[in-house]
């Protein structure tokens, strides 16, 4: 008999590890994977030692970690590399993680306010789910700067998120409106999409 009760095994189809808990016959065993028990043919499983050995080799050869935009310190607004004055943008940047099946999935969205204009603005911001405010902020953003606002869980995108802004010029101008309200509330937009709104009327 190839397997015995208590043996560690690898499910070939899902690449998950488990244990043999019962020998059914000479072709099948009962296995347990993450608390779930189910029968499996012996040709559907294998010993996990080769997988563990190759994973250790991959870890040893792991490249130097990369720095991503979402690792920028939250308290420090960043000067924008783009110097084209095309308004103020709301940018949603996905942050990825690994699920139980070792697949890459979106865990949350980093919300940034991107000022592609030569004006500094005071703004009041509210983020809502289903019409209920979950986050508020009253601060300012400098010309051609990117301002980190907060994170939202990717699963909460189903709750009709709303992003409400009230902008006013930090240095008032006679030919500009005293303030300007705008919102981005379309839940059908893809996570990577950016919603653009002009921040002040001429």
Contact yes or no for 110/71 (Cβ under 8 A)? no
Q: Is residue 65 part of a domain?
A: no
pLDDT at residue 72 in the model: 46
Q: How many residues does the chain have?
A: 202
Residue burial 101-129, b: 16+ Cβ < 10 Å; e: rest: eeeeeeebbbbbbbbbbebebebebbbbb
Percent of the chain beyond pLDDT 90? 37
The residue segments making up the domain with residue 126 are: 81-197
- Per-residue pLDDT for 188 more than 60? no
Q: Is residue 92 part of a domain?
A: yes
Number of domains in the chain: 2
pTM metric for this prediction: 0.53
Contact yes or no for 152/158 (Cβ under 8 A)? no
Q: Do 178 and 135 lie in a common domain?
A: yes
- Lowest average pLDDT, out of 32-46, 102-116, 171-185, goes to 171-185
Q: Do 122 and 157 lie in a common domain?
A: yes
The DSSP bridge partners found for residue 87 are 116
pLDDT at residue 202 in the model: 32
Contact yes or no for 88/197 (Cβ under 8 A)? yes
Q: Do 88 and 155 lie in a common domain?
A: yes
Q: Is residue 69 part of a domain?
A: no
- Lowest average pLDDT, out of 17-21, 138-142, 196-200, goes to 196-200
């Amino acid at each position: 008999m190839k397997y015995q009760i208590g043996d560690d095994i690898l499910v070939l189809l899902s690449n998950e590890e488990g244990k043999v808990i019962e020998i059914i016959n000479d072709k099948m065993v009962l296995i347990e994977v993450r608390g779930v028990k189910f029968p499996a043919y012996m040709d559907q499983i294998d010993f996990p030692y080769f997988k563990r050995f190759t994973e250790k080799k991959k870890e040893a050869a792991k490249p130097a970690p990369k720095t991503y935009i979402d690792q920028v310190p939250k308290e420090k607004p960043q000067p924008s590399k783009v110097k084209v004055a095309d308004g103020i943008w709301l940018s949603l940047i996905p942050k990825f993680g690994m699920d139980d099946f070792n697949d890459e999935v979106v865990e949350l969205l980093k919300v940034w306010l991107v000022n592609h204009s030569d004006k500094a603005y005071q703004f009041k911001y509210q983020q809502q789910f289903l019409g209920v405010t979950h986050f508020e902020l009253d601060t300012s953003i400098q010309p051609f700067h990117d301002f980190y606002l907060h994170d939202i869980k990717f699963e909460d995108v189903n709750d009709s998120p709303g992003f409400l802004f009230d902008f006013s010029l930090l240095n008032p101008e006679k030919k500009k409106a005293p303030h300007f309200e705008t919102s981005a509330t379309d839940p059908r937009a893809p996570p990577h999409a950016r919603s653009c709104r002009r921040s002040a009327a001429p």
